[in-house]
Structure 1
Amino acid sequence: MKRVKKYSASILLGFVMTMMSGLLMANDTVIIKGVGTWEYFTNYQKHEGPFWNQHIADVTDGRIVGEIKSHTELGMKGHEIMRLVKNGVFDFAFGLPGYVVPESEIFEGADLSSLVQNIGVQKQVANAYFPTLERAFAEKYNAKLMMLYPFPSQMIWCNSPIRNIDDLKGKRIRVFLATLGDFVEGVGAIPVSASFNDVPQALEKGIFDCAITGTMSAYTGKLYEVASYGYTLRVGWGLAFGAMNMDKWNLLSDELKALLQKEISLLNEKMWQETATEDAIALSCLADGPCAIGEVGNMTLVEPTKSDLMVRNKVAAEVILPRWAERCGPECAANWNRTVGKVLGLRAEAYAR
Structure 2
Amino acid sequence: MKKLLLTLLTTAVFSQMAMAEPVKLKYSSFLPETTQTNHVTIPRLKAKLEELSGGNLSVEMYFGGTLGAGPKTQMRLVNNGVADFAEIPVPYTPGRIKGINVFELPFVVKDNLNGSLKTLDLIKSGDIKGTDRFVVLGALQAGPYLIHTRDKIASIDDLKGKRMRVSGAVQSAIAEAFGAVPVANIPATQIAENLSRKLLDGALVDMANVYNFRIEEETKYHVTNLELGAFSVLFLMNKEKYEGLSAENKKAIDTVKGEWFTKELGKEMNIQAKMVLDKLKGDSSQHLIELSAADLKKAQAKMQAVIDDWTKQSALNAKVYQAATAQ
TM-score w.r.t. length of structure 2: 0.83
**AA paired with 2:297?**
M
- Per the alignment, do residues 324 and 267 of structure 1 end up closer, same or farther by CA in structure 2, a change over 3 Å counting? same
Corresponding residue of 1:136: 130
Q: Which residue of 2 aligns with 1:154?
A: 145
2:169 aligns to what? 178
The CA distance in 2 between the partners of 1:76 and 1:228, in whole Å, is 30
Q: Does 1:267 align with 2:254?
A: no
Give the structure 2 partner of residue 237 of structure 1.
230
Which residue number corresponds to residue 191 of structure 2?
199
SS for the counterpart of 2:303 is: helix
- Unaligned 5+ segments in structure 2 are none
Of 246, 250, 272, which aligns to 2:243?
Answer: 250
Match 1:208 to one of 182, 195, 200: 200
Q: Which residue of the other structure, out of 288, 292, 311, is the alignment partner of 2:298?
A: 311
Residue 55 of structure 1 and its aligned partner are, at CA, apart by 5.0
CA contact (8 A) 2:208 2:274 kept: no
- Given that 1:150 and 1:271 are in contact with CA atoms closer than 8 Å, whether structure 2 keeps it comes out as no
Matching of residue 187 in structure 1 with residue 171 in structure 2: no
Tell me the amino acid that sits aligned with residue 201 of structure 1: E
Deviation at 1:243, TM superposition (A): 1.0
Q: Counterpart of 1:347? A: none
CA offset at residue 174 of structure 1?
0.7
Q: Percent identity?
A: 21
| 8 Å Cα contact 1:37/1:44 also seen in 2 | no
Q: Does 1:218 align with 2:202?
A: no
Q: Note if contact 1:179-1:324 (Cα within 8 Å) is conserved in structure 2.
A: no
Q: Is the 8 A contact 2:113 2:270 kept in 1?
A: no
* CA distance in 2: counterparts of 1:340 and 1:305, whole angstroms: 28
Q: Aligned ranges for residues 1-353 of structure 1 at < 5 Å?
A: 23=16, 26-27=19-20, 29-39=22-32, 40-48=34-42, 51-52=45-46, 55-119=48-112, 121-123=114-116, 125-131=118-124, 132=126, 135-138=129-132, 142-151=133-142, 153-193=144-184, 194-232=186-224, 233-264=226-257, 265-287=259-281, 289=282, 296=283, 298-323=285-310, 325-326=312-313, 329-330=314-315, 332-343=316-327
Q: Which moved more, 1:38-47 or 1:108-117?
A: 108-117
Change (3 A) 1:100 1:201: closer
Which amino acid is the alignment partner of residue 303 of structure 1? E
Q: Post-superposition shift, 1:26?
A: 4.6
Q: 70-79 or 243-252, which moves further after superposition?
A: 70-79
The change in CA–CA distance for 1:297 and 1:155 in structure 2 (over 3 A counts) is: farther
Distance 1:216 1:134, change over 3 A: closer
Q: What are the Cα deviations for residues 276-326 of structure 1, in whole angstroms up to 9, with x where unaligned?
A: 222121012113x2xxxxxx3631111244334433432333224423652
Structure whose CA Rg is larger: 1
Query: Aligned partners of 2:13, 2:312: CA distance in 1, in Å?
Result: 59
How many residues matched?
Answer: 317
- RMSD of the TM alignment (CA)? 3.2
Change (3 A) 1:217 1:120: closer
Aligned residue type for 1:57: E
Q: Deviation at 1:58?
A: 4.0
Counterpart CA distance in 2 for 1:222 and 1:24 is 47
Q: For the structure 1 residues 325 and 27, does the alpha-carbon distance in structure 2 shift closer, same or farther, using more than 3 Å as the test? A: farther
Unaligned runs of 5+ in 1: 1-11, 290-295, 344-353
TM-aligned CA distance change 1:319 to 1:150, over 3 Å: closer
In 2, Cα distance between the equivalents of 1:224 and 1:337? 33
Preserved contact between residue 24 and residue 59 of structure 2 (Cα < 8 Å): yes
- Give, in whole Å, the separation in 2 of the partners of 1:224 and 1:90: 32
In the alignment, is the contact (CA less than 8 A) between 1:169 and 1:189 conserved in 2? yes
Change (3 A) 1:120 1:75: closer
Residue 133 of structure 1 deviates from its aligned partner by 6.7
Partner Cα distance (2:131, 2:196) in 1: 39
User: Which structure's relative contact order is higher, taking Cα pairs within 8 Å and 6+ residues apart?
Assistant: 2
Q: In 2, Cα distance between the equivalents of 1:125 and 1:169? A: 33
Normalised to the residue count of structure 1, the TM-score between the two structures is 0.77
State the shift of 1:185 in Å: 0.9
* 3-state secondary structure, aligned to 2:99: helix
